[in-house]
A and B are shown apart, each in its own frame.
Chain A
Amino acid sequence: MHGGGAADAHATRAGARDRRLWPLAALLAAASAASLAAACLCGPLPIPPGQVLAHLGAALGLPPGPGLDPAHAVVVVDIRLSRACLAWLTGAALALAGTVFQGILHNPLADPFTIGVSTGAAFGASLALFFGLAALPVWAGVGLLPVAAMCGAFAALGAVVALGRVGGRLRRETVVLAGIVVATFLGALISLLKALDEESVASIVFWVMGSLQGRGWAHVGFALPYFLAGGLLVVARARQLDLLSLGDAQARALGLDADRARLALLLAASLLTGAAVSVSGVVGFVGLVAPHLVRQALGAEHRPLAVVSALAGGLLLLWSDVAARTVLPHGQELPVGVVTALLGGPFFCLVLRRRARGAGL
């Protein structure tokens, strides 16, 4: 067998991989910070870049320069920055959730919407809109809508887990099937609500397409605890995703309680998805594309994949949202879900084509 001298060569090679991970993570983190500031430059109200930066600096506690317009401070910090932060957080949450769902379901084409959690959230929100209670204030400036969406997400998860549990076991195949059943059923109920009430159709449709219009710090505050809890859970259990991706028998042989790990990860991913959907509606493609691209760059190990995917997903949605609110003239907005789908669809096709050609297929 091989001589012992190779050990050092190996340590360096193992290090080479880490050297690829951390610069990429640092680069994306820096790009995220810069993008948050850059996103505040864009908007229908023209504010000189210097002043925008001064306002941002003031918000961070730097001494405010002379001649700053307090009305501009509201626009820059309370409208643009809060929305950029929310977009970043939502994108990161969706990408993390996508990483988990792809890992659990052994399917690189799974996304946070595969198992019906998002349809549950959409149904909860649709109910709130249908009964005209969406704006009912329930929590520090946040209407009933996100709360209803969160409840819907967890009701859907509960239904999926209850349906997918066969003989006390939560199997991958049955979870997918249960997810499809629940998503289809709830999708039909949403259509029913739309058919029953002509008036709420427009708001339901707009919400389901996904938009960050009119969201602010209150929504960040509402969703942040879920994002943090879900994100920490996912990163902590990311290595268990590696084991689960080899199948239950192997995961158990290596010492993992596969059923419990899967349930915990499912719960964490649903927390992330539910919170994201409750503040932004259904935004597609981010949760699918981000982990997929990062996996090609970094490999399939789930811990680096989760961290870097989150950063990439945050960036992706942040810039999609900037596009959504600046592409149309006169302050009109596109739903951000439409932007991600318009950008993500062709881009994803390109990636798949290129990979197929690379594999000689």
Chain B
Amino acid sequence: MIRAEAVRCGYGRTQVLHGVSLDVAAGGVTGLLGPNGSGKTTLLLALAGILPLLGGRVAVAARGGEADMHALPARRRARLVACVPQRLDMAFALRCSTLVLMGRFAHGSPLAGPDAADRRAAREAMRATGVEHLWDRPADAVSGGELQRVLLARALAQQAPALLLDEPSASLDLAAAVRLFDLLRGLAGRGRAVLCAMHDLNLAALYCDALVFLKDGRVACAGPVKDVFHERTLSEIYGTDIRVGPHPVTGGPQAHFVPGAAGGGAGPGAGPGPGGGDPGPRGRDRGR
């Protein structure tokens, strides 16, 4: 569905990604993992065609053929790929329904307002993520988890075949996170390509078909969960001792952390230590 070929990009003079290649398959959930500042958010922006590339290309399946994501007009891009951002910087408090209806912007005329069909699609999307009751609520008067689900509803309303999510479970409680990933699995089951940046290794192992690990702006490791979810790989990428054991119900692999082990198992060019904080995609010294 989406294929990145040796993508290099960054912000200003700071290059963040140094030649990332990956394939996001339709009909599956791909987990994008890696330590803080490894370039996950940047990669999502590059895949969505928002961030200009310094090199490489992003190819997206469109109308039976393949198109260069960065050469497409914005409206066509938005009909192919929908994004769920990590957070929202709202200048003014718009209503939740307005946010979700924005997902329909690429479908109607660029100058017209949303029509009845758009409202229906928005309502269905909000029902699917369980935030229908927030329709008229200002978006600054809902909780972080609710806003996250409103933004997911917006991406669903966009009805794009590919879905890029940036840590969608970050502000969700456990039950909501499980519901979210059940929903994502359902979407993948109906043929969508889902790429989800996340921190929780165990949710990733439970719900993803394939995993891509980024480290310092490069793909450290990628493949189906059973091929990459190993103690050595994980310990090396995250720079701390990680053990893998079976899930008590599904039997799939789950990661267990060892207290006080951070820094012990790091490979060359050790990642940031614990408590380093997330400098975000604009972290100054990443990937030099």
Q: Residues of A at under 8 Å CB distance from B?
A: 1-2, 4, 6-7, 10-11, 13-14, 16-17, 103, 106-108, 236-237, 239-240, 242-243, 245-247, 249-250, 252-258, 295, 299-301, 303
B82 neighbours in A (Cβ, 8 Å): 253
Contact indicator A13/B136 (Cβ below 8 Å): yes
Partner of A254, one of B78, B88, B89: B78
**B98 interfacial contact with A, CB 8 Å:** yes
A103 neighbours in B (Cβ, 8 Å): 91-92
Contacts A10-B123, A10-B135, A249-B50 given; does A242 touch B94 at CB 8 Å: yes
B63 neighbours in A (Cβ, 8 Å): none
Highest count of chain B CB atoms <10 Å: which of A6, A239, A243, A255: A255
Interface residue SS majority, chain A: helix
**Whole-angstrom distance between the alpha carbons of A14 and B79 in the complex?**
26
Contact indicator A2/B127 (Cβ below 8 Å): yes
Contacts A236-B111, A303-B113 given; does A17 touch B136 at CB 8 Å: yes
Contact indicator B92/A10 (Cβ below 8 Å): no
28 contacts between A and B (CB under 8 A): A1-B127, A1-B179, A2-B133, A7-B127, A10-B132, A13-B135, A14-B135, A103-B92, A237-B111, A239-B105, A245-B90, A246-B90, A246-B102, A249-B50, A250-B83, A253-B48, A253-B81, A253-B82, A253-B83, A254-B102, A254-B105, A299-B93, A299-B94, A300-B94, A301-B94, A301-B95, A301-B98, A303-B113
A239 neighbours in B (Cβ, 8 Å): 105, 111, 113
**Whole-angstrom distance between the alpha carbons of A13 and B123 in the complex?**
12
Contacts A2-B133, A299-B95 given; does A255 touch B77 at CB 8 Å: yes
Contact indicator A255/B123 (Cβ below 8 Å): no
Contact indicator A245/B91 (Cβ below 8 Å): yes
**B138 interfacial contact with A, CB 8 Å:** yes
**9 shortest interchain CB distances as A-B pairs:** A255-B78, A255-B106, A300-B92, A106-B91, A1-B130, A255-B75, A245-B91, A253-B83, A236-B111
Question: What is the distance, in angstroms, from B48's C-beta to the closest C-beta of chain A?
Answer: 5
Highest count of chain B CB atoms <10 Å: which of A14, A17, A239: A239
Give the A-B contact count at a CB cut-off of 8 A: 109
**Whole-angstrom distance between the alpha carbons of A295 and B111 in the complex?**
21
**Whole-angstrom distance between the alpha carbons of A4 and B74 in the complex?**
33
**Whole-angstrom distance between the alpha carbons of A333 and B264 in the complex?**
81
**Whole-angstrom distance between the alpha carbons of A237 and B73 in the complex?**
18
Closest to A106 in B: B91
Question: What is the distance, in angstroms, from B149's C-beta to the closest C-beta of chain A?
Answer: 9
Closest to B114 in A: A239
**B30 interfacial contact with A, CB 8 Å:** no
Contact indicator A16/B136 (Cβ below 8 Å): yes
A252 neighbours in B (Cβ, 8 Å): 49-50, 74, 77
Closest to B107 in A: A255
**Whole-angstrom distance between the alpha carbons of A16 and B95 in the complex?**
13
B110 neighbours in A (Cβ, 8 Å): 240, 256
A303 neighbours in B (Cβ, 8 Å): 113
Question: What is the distance, in angstroms, from B69's C-beta to the closest C-beta of chain A?
Answer: 12
Question: What is the distance, in angstroms, from B241's C-beta to the closest C-beta of chain A?
Answer: 37
**B97 interfacial contact with A, CB 8 Å:** yes
**B129 interfacial contact with A, CB 8 Å:** yes
**B45 interfacial contact with A, CB 8 Å:** yes
Contact indicator B128/A243 (Cβ below 8 Å): no
B93 neighbours in A (Cβ, 8 Å): 299-300
Contact indicator B119/A254 (Cβ below 8 Å): no
**B103 interfacial contact with A, CB 8 Å:** yes
Closest to B135 in A: A10
Question: What is the distance, in angstroms, from B226's C-beta to the closest C-beta of chain A?
Answer: 31
